[in-house]
Amino acid sequence: MSTRLILATRNQHKVAELRAILGEAGLDVELVGADAYPEIPDVPETGVTFAENALLKAHALARATGLPAVADDSGLCVDVLNGAPGIFSARWAGKHGDDLANLDLLLAQLSDIAEPHRGAHFFCAAALALPDGTERVVEGRLLGTLRTAPAGTHGFGYDPILQPLGETRTCAEMTAEEKNAISHRGQAFRALAPVVKDLLG
């Protein structure tokens, strides 16, 4: 009988991505999203690091459902901004989830930064928490540079301005498959697969 594992998201694309990665790793796990438990409220991200936020969400879900839970937190870290926007990526311009305002503000802040100094990376921390309090955190990074203007219509958030190292396109100019193959979240989820195998058998 497969183990049920819950992922702290209502985003079905994210659920499908992790489900595929666990399947490739040969794991017999039934993965469901948080929408399978609509009575459980979303957990506020009050941590000061990506790992803290991922653990907060994973532990809260594991406690509420009695199931092993996975959660992730990710964002954009800009070298010349000492790693900002970081955990504030989704609300950099003030309002949570206003991608366009966040993008415009960041480009304005970097308007006088020359190309050699526009290094940045997407970062993801993924956490697995068990109902008994056991926890593990893994990380993924997608290194790149920031364009001076958005390009591409795929993806979301800062995808239109991050150009991965070795690429001539931004993340928003790639197909979902191309992006998932190199993405920070894809890397973190792939690193999580052996952890799931180890802790859930």
The dihedrals phi and psi of 77, each to the nearest 5 degrees, come to -120, 120
Number of Cβ atoms within 10 Å of the Cβ of 162? 24
73 a catalytic residue: yes
**Per DSSP, which regions of 119-174 are E strands?**
119-129, 135-146, 162-164
Closest CA to 120 of 153, 157, 94: 157
Residue partners of 16: CB distance under 8 A and separation at least 6: none
Catalytic option among 35, 42, 72, 73: 73
**What percent of the chain is helix, strand and coil (3-state, nearest 5)?**
40, 25, 35
Distance CA 101, CA 114 (A): 22
Distance of CA 29 to the CA centre of its chain: 21
| Residues annotated as catalytic (active site), given as ranges | 73
